[in-house]
Each structure stands twice: as structure tokens, then as C-alpha cells.
Homo-oligomer: A and B are copies of this chain.
């Protein structure tokens, strides 16, 4: 039996700070508030509902994950955030139109009390947002960092938080490849001082968080903490980080289906994915410069799962198309339609079509919760830098240099659960099960 590792107990309040207080963040706040009053179930959250099998199948040990590892309780969570619009969380949630009025009313008072701090924002990085009214006067990037650090520390004191985590819930930023300024912490800090235009707002947030010792996860496909400079900072500060791009909707299904087809060695000739959605995210992504960032994140998933270098006959020549169309009639209700052209025995063609009528923020909210709780756990367990075991939550999982990422949802879940078993001193599960059939 292996040894458990030491983990600090989750004493006191945990503050969850979200840059971005739109549909995803407010759905997350409202859901946690409703769940802790017992009005609603936080469906989709592994930390709240998931069980974990321990030992052999016949032992019948399947505790809840939150009873197996020492997670913060929902009762101890406190919420805060920044947004370029000044609406409080209740108003923002009503505008987002994700949750019904009856659900929002039930926790309305608490939501109204959550007011956004002034955002670090630039239309160069997120276009198509109009009428922003909660952005500070023109200031240097270093001044922005300092302001955010002050916001963080003020929040920590005012809300009497023992610990903090920050989860990026803002819009997708325009695509730009990593630049020189991202290659080392020295270069990045120099860039901050010199107002380097390659430094995006999300990186200002991340730098402030890590500087303040706050774990950081990135729910959008932006670079943010996925560069050597930030990894260096996280390691130096002893803070865990994770990213990037919440795995929801069509890509979630893709990382379910693709491993299934590959498990069965069924070939793929083409995969056409289109999305229609009418929320603010849809409007932002209708702009080609913003969509490009998303596209890179979405397209890479298949390539990594399918290993075309190992399977050139099956996956060496896939025509993969991903489209997003702004379509207001649906609001936050997203629809993803996939057509997959596969082939089997002797190359005979078959087709799979998937229509997913989903709700983006409903799928994303539980990921914010899980990441907040797991990052906090990792921090208390003394883990720092990239948390690859959280790949499960991301379209583009961040990983150590020299490694390939794991995008297969099932490998990701095995990785996550075996990590928890390992930390708690339980045997890893291999599904061998030979003992039931072998004579000794």
C-alpha cells in the first residue's frame, strides 16, 4: 500500500475570482449559491457528484470524491471578479439569459451584491464589444498589474478569505502566436515595463494572480499562462496553474467520439463541425480574428487523439473543418452539428451525424467550480506549476515541454482519478482484473 502525501486541510474561506462576469461566471455563482441552499443540484461537477472506485471491483468501495480528498466546501466559497461592463452579477445573469428568472430570484440578493471591479480591457484583443463602461482610464501595463494586485489583496481582506483562486471566464482574445516577450520571465517583466503590445489583458491578470500567490486556470483559448514566462513564474511562486479553454459542447463530444472510433480502429476521412449560437461569445467569435484563436484550439484536438503518424492509413488524411456562426435566434442555446465520414473493413464508408442542442454556460459552470476546488487542493498539497492531471477540463491541455498532451477524455479521467488515488495512498486502477480468473 503506497503512502498518502501531506495535504493542508481546507480551513476558512476560499475566494474565487473571475476575470469576466458574463454568462459563464454568473451561471457558476448562481448555481453554487442555489446548490448550497439545497435548491438545485450542481450537475456536471465531478467534485460534487462524482464517486471514485477504490480497490478491487469486489470490495465495493466507491466514496464520493469530495469525501475522499479534502476539498473546500461549497459553504466556504466567496465570489468576486472584474468585467468591462458594470452590471452586478444579477443583472449580468438576467441579460445573459441562461438561467430562468425563477432560479435567479431565489439567490438574487447574493448575486446583486457581487459587483465587478474595473476591468483591464482592450478592444485590440477583444473586438465587437460595445458600450463597455467599467474600464479604468488609460494606464500602463505595469500599472494595470499593480491595480489588480491591489484588487486581489483588498478582496482577500474584505471578504476574509483564507485562500484565493482565479479562473479566467472572459471572452476569447484575438489570436497572436507567442512572441519573444513570452519566452522568459525576465523578458515578460521587461515587456510589462515597456508596455509591450504583445502582452494581452489575460496575461496581466495571470501575472497579478501568480505574483499574489493565487492559483490560476484559463477557460479560454488565449495564450495567458501557456508560455515559458508564466510557467517560470508559477514555479518560482510555488503556485499551481492549469489551462486552457474549457472543454464543452462540440469539442467535448469530439473528445468522446474520436477515442471511441480509434479504439475500434475505424478510419476517418472527414469531420465537418458547425456551430450556431447567439450569445456574446458567438458575436465575438463571428469576427475572424477572434475565431482564429478558437479554431487552433479546436482543430488540434483530433490530431492529437488520433495519432496520424502511428495510423497513417486510418487518420493520415482527414479533412477537418470547424465553423462557428453567430445566430441570434437561439441566445445562449448553442447547437453543434457534426458530420463524420468514417470507414471500416476494406475501406467501406459510413457516416455519423451528431446534433447537439446544448447550453454553453450550463456546461462550463461546473468546470469553473471543479477547477477552483482542485487548484485549491493542489495548492494545499504543495503542488506547483502545470497541473496536467486537470487536462480533463480543457480543449488544449497545458503540459510539460517534450510531452504530448492527452486529449482523450477517458485517458484524462483515468489520469485525474489515479492522481487522486496516488495522493491519498490508494492503489492505482489498471482494470487488469486477472485475479478473478487466475488460480494461484
Contacts and interface: CB of A to CB of B under 8 A. Distances in A.
A38 to B, nearest CB: 12
Given A263-B392, A346-B362, 19 more contacts: A41-B346, A42-B346, A44-B266, A46-B264, A49-B311, A51-B307, A252-B260, A257-B257, A260-B410, A272-B276, A272-B325, A323-B323, A337-B339, A345-B361, A352-B354, A352-B357, A400-B437, A414-B430, A429-B430
B313 A269 contact: no
Interface in A29-68: 30-31, 34-35, 40-46, 48-51, 57-58, 62
B437 A415 contact: no
Nearest to A333: B350
Interface string A354-373: 11111101110110000000
A434 interface: yes
Interface stretch (A134-142, A294-302, A401-409): A401-409
Interface residues of A, number: 107
Contacts of A399: 436
Given A264-B252, A310-B51, A356 B350 contact: yes
A385 interface: yes
Interface in A313-362: 313-314, 319, 321, 323, 325, 327-330, 335, 337, 339, 341, 343-348, 350-359, 361-362
Contact of A339 (B265, B335, B352, B433): B335
18 contacts: A43-B267, A44-B266, A45-B265, A46-B265, A49-B314, A57-B403, A58-B402, A103-B346, A255-B260, A265-B366, A270-B327, A348-B362, A352-B354, A352-B355, A354-B354, A399-B436, A414-B431, A415-B431
List 4 tightest A-B contacts by C-beta distance, closest first: A256-B260, A270-B329, A410-B410, A40-B346
A418 to B, nearest CB: 5
B418 A406 contact: no
Contacts of A383: 437
A259 interface: yes
A345 B27 contact: yes
Most buried by B among A58, A99, A353: A353
Number of copies: 4
A173 to B, nearest CB: 25
Interface in A272-291: 272, 274, 276
A368 to B, nearest CB: 10
Nearest to A423: B434
Contacts of A44: 264-266, 344-345
A419 interface: yes
A321 B31 CA distance: 32
A245 interface: no
A157 interface: no
A268 to B, nearest CB: 9
A437 B352 contact: no
A325 B271 CA distance: 12
